[in-house]
Amino acid sequence: MKRYILIYNPQAGDAGFKHRLDEVIHYLKLQRCVVLPMRTAAKEDMREIVLLGRQLAAAGIIVAGGDGTLHETVNAMLATGFDVPVGIIPSGTSNDFAQGLNIGYDLERCCRIIAGGKWRNTDVGKVNDLYFLNVASAGLFTSVAHNVETPLKNTVGKLAYYLKGLGQLPHFNTYRMKITADGQVIEDEVLFFLVMNSGMVGSFPKLAPQARIDDGKLDLLIVNKCRIPELMGLFVSIMAGNHIQHRNVAYLQAQQIHIECDSRIESDLDGERGPLLPLSISTIAGRIKVFCE
């Protein structure tokens, strides 16, 4: 019987996964899998849990949570050198990476995918000495996830992010940035930027139309200075998937990206606090294995 470590975040999403833990154990037991559930309450827990998985020679790490829990798990795995496939049970407020893989929310199907043993290699982005699976960003909206209260997220879900983001609009700033992407230099007043591994960010599936999680490249989307009416029009274009042609948008792919800024602003990695700018970002091709169909 294969052994798995199950990392679950009791506060993720609507905080309801903990009430379905027995279902997961049941479904995986039917597939001849043994599960050791590990509850995480802080980032500091992850390294210890991953090291336990390596000590027990676990066949994989299962993550029940959102993009943030997945982010913390992957960083702990890369830091400790524990190279096993990751299984995902999406149960957070934001599950963009899992949605991009079409994993879905059906609990039994998630367990079948993991027990099936099929996996694919996915790229990882490296920012200074940290890693991200889905997106690195800075500027307008990128600190929203850090400032939304957990009870609000548990009550209204991802809508909480959008409500908080709208509150930033009257006070938005632009930042003078120098962005170098595979030798191409862009200097401008930037509203925000996204460096994406997959095309699914904020539940918008077409933000990076050329993005692939296994192409060895990152997709850079830059939104330059514009007035609020123009910005609202841009959001409409994003929803329609035709924003790449917008005059305030720059979009390109690169393997190496360096971002400098006149201001010391905070970045965001997969919805978690990232380092202050400047950022040195690179792609590590095929570094993580993820269970999939």
Q: What is the CATH number of the domain that holds 272?
A: 2.60.200.40
Cα–Cα distance between 209 and 177 in angstroms, integer? 24
Residue 124 clears pLDDT 80, i.e. is over it: yes
Look at residue 168 in the predicted model and tell me its pLDDT: 58
The CATH number linked to 84 is 3.40.50.10330
6 and 136 inside one domain: no
| H helix or E strand, kind and range, residue 54 | helix 44-55
Is 272 one of the annotated active-site residues of the chain?
A: yes
Whether residues 278 and 136 share a domain: the answer is yes
Residue 136 has pLDDT above 70, yes or no: yes
Note whether 185 and 56 are same-domain residues: no
Counted domains in the chain? 2
109 contact partners, CB below 8 Å, separation of at least 6: none
Same domain? For 30 and 154 the reply is no
**Alpha-carbon torsion angle 137, 141, 221, 102, nearest 10:** 80
Q: Is residue 292 domain-resident? A: no
The average pLDDT across 59-76 equals: 95
Q: Both 61 and 171 in a single domain?
A: no
Read off the pLDDT of residues 190-201 as tens digits, 9 standing for 90 and up: 988 999 999 888
Would you say 282 and 204 are in contact if contact means Cβ atoms under 8 Å apart?
no
The residue to which tokens 């559930």 are assigned: 37
Domain-embedded: residue 123: no
State the average pLDDT for the chain: 87
Contact between 34 and 5 (Cβ < 8 Å): no
The residue from 117, 141, 157 where one domain ends is 117
Band of residue 187 on the pLDDT scale cut at 50, 70, 90? very high
- pLDDT at residue number 233: 78
Examine the pLDDT at 153 and tell me if it is beyond 50.
Answer: no
In the chain, the percentage of residues whose pLDDT exceeds 70 is: 89
Whether 55 and 111 map to the same domain: the answer is: yes
Domain limits at 236? 130-287
Q: How many whole angstroms from its chain centre is CA 139?
A: 17
Give the residue from 117, 139, 155 where a domain finishes: 117
The yes-or-no verdict on residue 151 having pLDDT over 60 is: no
Cα 34 to Cα 60, 92, 212: the distances in Å are: 11, 24, 33
Same domain, yes or no: 142 and 172? yes
Q: Which of 48, 149, 272, 293 is catalytic?
A: 272
Report CA 184 to chain centroid distance, whole Å. 26
